[in-house]
Amino acid sequence: MLRNIILARFLAKEDFGVAALLGLILTLFEMTGKLAFGQQLIQSKNGDDPDYINSIHFTQVALSITSTLLILLCAWPLAHFVAGPQYFASLLLLALVPLINGFGHLDVHRKTRSLNYVPIVISETIPQVVATLAAWPLAIYFKDYRAVLWILIGRSIIYNVITHLLADHRFIPRYNSKWFKEGLKFGWPLLLAGLLQMGNFQGDSMVVAASYTLAQLGEYSVAMTMAMTPGFALLRISHSIALPLLSEVQNDLVQLSERYGRYVEIMALLSCTATLGMLFCGEQVIVLLYGTKYAGVGALACLLIAAQGLRIIRGATVGAAMARGDTVNNLVANLWRLTGLVLAVIVGWLHGSLAWFALTGFAGEAAALAVSIFRLRKQHSIAPWITVKPTLIATCGVLIAASFRQFIHISTTSWWNWPVLAVVLIFTFAMFILCLPELRSIIRDLLYKVNTRLGSPLPATWWTIKHAP
């Protein structure tokens, strides 16, 4: 995100839109990442066999060449019908990225089998850091989207060099029919899932790229980045904490429902908090980070984060299903999420306002959440009300806050938004505590533990719940 902020501040909106388009094209055609060859090495019982590694390298190189050829073949129509004829040469140059990525050494992934994570951390971190540090001077030098193009190419080269320096085996791609088929069998479902995920997360951006100006695509990309960042962070952290706790009681439906209820209530509260933050202060944060040329994008980001709020809550339903070994829940929910993309295509065809894309995303996320809740009840006997109740409370909190903000007529640029946000958050928190007994229990437990660690400055009679000695 930091690199995007630097580029957005120094590049014109149209150039940032071109940069976003290059990223979309690369995500669409690049196959090697979606097939997760590194995960194959980690998961396979043959992961330490040099012949198996050579076979995986062969498959990786073959698919990287395929990705490169696809970009080359589609460069002319993409340049003439989406970006513009003047970007044809840049799209040809973009084809170097998947080609270079295909020659990365997978030994850094293999080493994690023996719990040696240093090589993978180094190979992933250093290229990102260098790319971020290079963003400012390259943006100053090129003064247009070419800075992004060379950042993508340079990052791939650095990653490849590091992976080869840290490898223990020579890079010798070699075809093996047995392991080639095994690799594709493992990777094709991941490729389809990756394409489905890309359609959900970036499908609307592709429609904007095809139907609107590059400057509008730049604005939409900034708004989408601001809207999606809190969700990605919250889901990544919450899943790592909640999944083991839910899996621990996966065979006890009573305890699973109880723990899931607390989990989804916390996620609903966090979802509501993120949405309220964008509602009151999103415009100022965007202008502060991306510059005054993106003034007015805050309203679009606020609408987009409403859809992301539902996605945060859906993260809890998916987590509960995964704890029971059910990965189909997420797949089915994502399929229903594509209804939003269908609506987005209609909006793009009619050239509607960008705000309508946010509403189509909200509709898609609502459908996905409803299907996920239904499957939880059908497959795992988890009552829908456990999810619906905190979701309704979060929705009411956002609607009340939006009405209040409209009533007091605070300008989006006024610094009064910050203290008002603080008051609204306190009110929202109190509403959640009053309406959700399970959440009250969590807060009381937390306060009791803090009080105990501080030497019990508050008397025991203040606590209305019993605790085991």
- Average pLDDT of span 313-330: 83
Listed in sequence order, the residues at least 6 apart from 204 whose beta carbon sits closer than 8 Å to its beta carbon are 220, 340, 341, 344, 357, 360, 361
Per-residue tokens: 151: 């950042």
Residue bearing tokens 């594709």: 184
| Tens of pLDDT, residues 88-136 | 888 889 999 999 988 988 888 888 777 788 888 898 889 989 999 998 8
Residue 157: the pLDDT is 94
Residue 86: the pLDDT is 82
Instruction: Decide if pLDDT at 245 tops 70.
Output: yes
Quote the longest CA-to-CA distance of the chain.
76
Residue 467: the pLDDT is 44
CA–CA dist 383, 147 (Å, integer): 52
Q: Are 399 and 255 in contact (CB under 8 A)?
A: no
- Average pLDDT of span 411-424: 90
Residue bearing tokens 């066999």: 49
Hey, what amino acid is at 464? Answer: T
Query: Is 190 strand, coil or helix?
Result: helix
Percent of the chain surpassing pLDDT 90: 27
Percent of the chain surpassing pLDDT 70: 90
- Average pLDDT of span 166-193: 76
Query: Is 33 strand, coil or helix?
Result: coil
Residue 126: the pLDDT is 92
Query: Is 252 strand, coil or helix?
Result: coil
CA–CA dist 216, 322 (Å, integer): 38
Residue 189: the pLDDT is 61
**How many other CB atoms are there within 10 angstroms of residue 430's CB atom?**
10
Which 3-state string (H, E, C) describes 316-338? Answer: HHHHHHHHCCCCHHHHHHHHHHH
pLDDT band for position 451 (50/70/90)? low
N- to C-terminal Cα distance for the chain? 47
Does 155 or 23 have the greater pLDDT score?
155
Instruction: Decide if pLDDT at 181 tops 60.
Output: yes
- Share the mean pLDDT of the chain: 84
CA–CA dist 196, 191 (Å, integer): 9
H-assigned helices in 249-353 = 253-290, 297-323, 328-350
Listed in sequence order, the residues at least 6 apart from 80 whose beta carbon sits closer than 8 Å to its beta carbon are 88
Q: Are 173 and 58 in contact (CB under 8 A)?
A: yes
- What is the per-residue burial (b if ≥16 Cβ within 10 Å, else e) of 308-345? bbbbbbbbbbbbbbbbbebeebbebbbebbbbbbebbb
- The most confident of the ranges 227-241, 252-266, 359-373 is 359-373
Measure the CA angle with vertex 83, ends 80 and 87; round to 5°: 80
Instruction: Decide if pLDDT at 310 tops 80.
Output: yes
CA–CA dist 250, 20 (Å, integer): 42
Residue 460: the pLDDT is 52
Query: Is 160 strand, coil or helix?
Result: helix
CA–CA dist 275, 305 (Å, integer): 6
Closest residue by Cα to residue 90 from 138, 26, 184, 185: 26
| Tens of pLDDT, residues 5-17 | 888 888 888 888 8
